[in-house]
Amino acid sequence: MAAAESHAFQADVGRLLDLMVHSVYSERDIFLRELVSNGADACEKLRYEALADPTLVAADPDFLVTVSLDKHARTLSVADNGIGMSAAELAQSLGTIASSGTRAFLDSLKDDAPVGKDLIGQFGIGFYSGFMVAQRIDVETRRAGAGEAHLWSSDGKGTFSIAPLALEAAPARGTRVILHLKEDASEYLESTHVERILREHSSAIAVPIAFVEALGKEPRRLTDGSALWSKPKNAVSADDYNEFYRSLCGQFDAPALTLHWRAEGRHEYTVLAFVPGSRPFDLFDSSRKGRGKLYVRHVLVAEDAEILPSWLRFVRLVVDSADLPLNVSRELIQESAVFAAIKKGVANRIVQELTKLAENDAEAYAKVWANFGAVLKEGLYEEPERRDALFKLARFASTLDLDGKRTLADYVAAMRPNQTAIYYLTGDAIKRLDASPQLEGFRARGLEVLLLPDPIDAFWVSTAVGYEGKPFKSVSQGAADIKSIPLKEGTEGQAEPPAAALATLFALMKQQLEEVASDVRPSDRLSESPACVVAADHGLDRRLERMLAEHGQLKNVSKPVLEINSKHPLIAALAAQMAQADKEALNDAIWLIFDAAQLMDGEKLADAPGFAARLTRILGKAVGAPNVS
Ligand code: ADP
């Protein structure tokens, strides 16, 4: 028989292993969950392959994962009669990083090692977690239907070997992972301890688990491997659901919402779906779609079928259908009209259930929205036909409620007489938005303004026609048009300076700022600040424009309009001094007003040295320093 071939682990695996070998992680138990789940996955893969070639499983049709202890040899092994691995698959799967969870875990280490380490349990680092408890791991494997078997072996220190394995010594089919336990991992030889971990972490696995407590003992079934979703709801406990959620989502909190239903009628299918209790690490990963496990009559057809629209990608689910054909490829299944109808039905139901939660349990729903609202809002942009339903789900921060619990219905109910539009301001943080000068005139009139901090906001709000006949209107775009709405008592401003002086000041401002501002005009939207910048009447929202420019989808950002609060004491004083003013100071003041307005709008200064020089000159004059320039 040929000798063992030695291979080096891919560099990233080496790093990961180093961490595992030296692990001081207190929750080492998770390695067992990972290995059992790999065994079950291998069974599900073979179940699918056997559809095309039933001879693969003819000799042993019942899938099983068996965990065995051997105190004398100090080993714990996890065996499955699943698909197995060829030599090439061994080198690939157990020599590189295959899973996205492991990749994400490693990425988290780049920023901050200790944090990453604590997160081991959350990411599900797969096979390599075995090295937390084992000084050596042997993997004996034989691919279903193959006439050869292999032994993979490693001490987790940089290299692994692969050698042919005599068929008599190999599993008839599938894989046996043998952990040679470290001195300090003897608890994994204690049957009560291991059985507890298996029951706690692996009971929801869709393949039965057998347990061999000690060498020579009979295997004992711990779980029946029946699909949780096919049981009637009243036969499933909250713990069962939570456990299943954990194994499905790789998250270790409790789900915020568990949905389990059976659709009957035109199509028959069962769905078990979870809204996670916290944000998964890859929520905003652009490749993350609305994926879930698709079963056809209990056979796993696709691990990550695109069942949900991407704006529901935070929902994790299993769909099992009796109507889809099993005798065609998984691609064809997913292109079928029946699958399209199921997808639609599932999305509808999830939106309905979220709406119910929002109506019946505001507190629980607030958490869901805080975690996933930014994703749900993508639906407002991507599926206009669902807007009305999604508007019911949407919660907003506004000038009346910074906590973000306002609905559009609340907004409309609080509209002022003569108010015709729903006002909003987009930006990147609620606090900063709340401090925007553009809001002053609206506040002074008691007009509520929605504060929209998520990048997606700028998109949906510019395409949504309105809500209940009220158009959405940006407070930082075009003329404010709010003069007809009376000011609240006590907020009337001071008198304006004489019109002629103002006109001269505006003319000078326009001329000075010609290069940077498309217009300079008096404002209705200001009451405290001297100035602000807004987008032109028919232009794009400033934030949207900036985002498009950052992504290279727009060449130039257009020049803003500078709006001036004519009643502000600074403006009044400048207008009054037009005739005799120090020209240099006047010009500096005009530019600084513009610069300050840009900064308040979250814009970077185009000419920072110019700004600094102007500020220094003005300050020098203010404190009476000689010859500052
Ligand atoms: P993940 O399971 O998340 O993909 P792992 O590191 O646990 O990551 O496993 C890497 C790969 O090794 C798996 O995707 C699978 O292809 C293969 N593998 C692991 N265990 C088994 C097994 N018991 N049977 C067959 N293949 C396996």
CA 132, 137, 142: angle at the middle one, nearest 5? 135
Angstrom distance (rounded) from CA 282 to CA 101: 9
Distance 176 CA to ligand 1 centre (A): 12
CA proximity to 272, closest of 339, 204, 207: 204
- Residue nearest ligand 1's atom 15 by CA: 93
The strand pair at 316-321 and 290-296 is best described as parallel
- Residue nearest ligand 1's atom 12 by CA: 93
Residue 384 · residue 418 · CB < 8 Å: no
Distance 178 CA to ligand 1 centre (A): 14
* Interval 166-194: pLDDT, tens: 999 999 999 999 999 999 999 999 999 99
Distance 106 CA to ligand 1 centre (A): 17
Element at 354 (helix H, strand E): helix 337-360
- The phi, psi pair for 479, rounded to 5°, reads -70, 145
- The phi, psi pair for 375, rounded to 5°, reads -80, -45
Question: Given this model, what pLDDT does residue 116 score?
Answer: 47
Question: Given this model, what pLDDT does residue 200 score?
Answer: 79
Structure tokens at 312: 């529901």
Residue 126 in contact with ligand 1 by CB distance below 6 A:
yes
Residue 179 · residue 130 · CB < 8 Å: yes
Question: Given this model, what pLDDT does residue 159 score?
Answer: 92
Distance 34 CA to ligand 1 centre (A): 9
Q: How many CA atoms lie within 13 A of 381 on its CB side?
A: 16
Residue 129 in contact with ligand 1 by CB distance below 6 A:
no
Distance 78 CA to ligand 1 centre (A): 13
Q: Which of 38, 66, 94 has the most ligand 1 atoms within 8 A of CB, as the residue to mutate?
A: 38
Q: Which of 127, 154, 178, 202 has the most ligand 1 atoms within 8 A of CB, as the residue to mutate?
A: 127
Q: Which residues of the chain have pLDDT under 50?
A: 114-116
* Proportion of the chain in helix, strand, coil states, percent, rounded to 5: 45, 20, 35
Distance 44 CA to ligand 1 centre (A): 12
Structure tokens at 19: 């961490």
Distance 12 CA to ligand 1 centre (A): 17
Residue 175 in contact with ligand 1 by CB distance below 6 A:
yes
Question: Given this model, what pLDDT does residue 23 score?
Answer: 64
Residue 143 · residue 46 · CB < 8 Å: no
Question: Given this model, what pLDDT does residue 24 score?
Answer: 60
* 3-state SS string for 573-617: HHHHCCCCCCHHHHHHHHHHHHHHHHHHCCCCCCCHHHHHHHHHH
- Residue nearest ligand 1's atom 20 by CA: 38
For residue 34, the ligand 1 atom closest to its alpha carbon is 7
Q: Which amino acid is at 191?
A: S
Residue 477 in contact with ligand 1 by CB distance below 6 A:
no
Distance 281 CA to ligand 1 centre (A): 21
Find tokens 């063992």 and name the residue: 4
Residues 6 or more apart whose Cβ sits within 8 Å of residue 435: 600
Query: Could you tell me the CA-to-CA distances from 508 to 502, 505, 579, 590 in Å, in that order?
Result: 10, 5, 12, 9
Angstrom distance (rounded) from CA 177 to CA 424: 58
Distance 200 CA to ligand 1 centre (A): 22
Residue 154 in contact with ligand 1 by CB distance below 6 A:
no
For residue 83, the ligand 1 atom closest to its alpha carbon is 25
> In sequence order, what DSSP letters do the residues of 400-423 get, joined into one string?
TEEEEEE-HHHHHHTPPTT--SEE
- Residue nearest ligand 1's atom 21 by CA: 38
Residue 39 in contact with ligand 1 by CB distance below 6 A:
yes
Question: Given this model, what pLDDT does residue 300 score?
Answer: 86
**In the beta sheet, which residues pair with residue 174?**
142
Angstrom distance (rounded) from CA 78 to CA 196: 16
Question: Given this model, what pLDDT does residue 115 score?
Answer: 45
- Residue nearest ligand 1's atom 19 by CA: 38
Question: Sheet containing 472-474: which strands, arranged edge to edge?
Answer: 401-406, 396-398, 449-452, 422-426, 472-474
> In sequence order, what DSSP letters do the residues of 438-505 get, joined into one string?
GGHHHHHTT--EEEE-SHHHHHHHHH---BTTBPEEETTBS----TTSPPPTT----PPPPHHHHHHH
pTM for this predicted structure: 0.78
Residue 82 in contact with ligand 1 by CB distance below 6 A:
yes
Angstrom distance (rounded) from CA 102 to CA 250: 11
Angstrom distance (rounded) from CA 367 to CA 351: 16
Hey, which bits of 55-167 come out as E strands? 65-70, 75-80, 134-142, 149-154, 159-165
Angstrom distance (rounded) from CA 450 to CA 452: 6
Angstrom distance (rounded) from CA 627 to CA 129: 70
Hey, which bits of 81-158 come out as E strands? 134-142, 149-154
For residue 174, the ligand 1 atom closest to its alpha carbon is 24
Q: Is the dihedral of CA 593, 599, 605, 609 positive or negative?
A: positive
Structure tokens at 373: 């609202």
Question: Given this model, what pLDDT does residue 532 score?
Answer: 93
Find tokens 């056997």 and name the residue: 50
Residue 99 in contact with ligand 1 by CB distance below 6 A:
yes
Residue 85 in contact with ligand 1 by CB distance below 6 A:
yes
Residue 42 in contact with ligand 1 by CB distance below 6 A:
yes
For residue 97, the ligand 1 atom closest to its alpha carbon is 6
Distance 355 CA to ligand 1 centre (A): 39
Question: Given this model, what pLDDT does residue 83 score?
Answer: 97
Residue 478 · residue 535 · CB < 8 Å: yes
Distance 257 CA to ligand 1 centre (A): 30
Q: How far is CA 365 from the centre of its chain?
A: 17
For the chain, first and last CA: distance in Å? 88
* Interval 352-395: pLDDT, tens: 999 999 999 999 999 999 999 999 999 999 999 999 999 999 99
Residue 523 · residue 532 · CB < 8 Å: yes
Delineate the domains of the chain, giving CATH numbers in brackets. 5-223 (3.30.565.10), 228-364 (3.30.230.80), 384-474 (3.40.50.11260), 499-623 (1.20.120.790)
Angstrom distance (rounded) from CA 172 to CA 139: 14
CA 388, 285, 269: angle at the middle one, nearest 5? 55
Question: Given this model, what pLDDT does residue 110 score?
Answer: 64
CA proximity to 467, closest of 386, 409, 399: 409
Residue 80 in contact with ligand 1 by CB distance below 6 A:
yes
Residue 127 in contact with ligand 1 by CB distance below 6 A:
yes
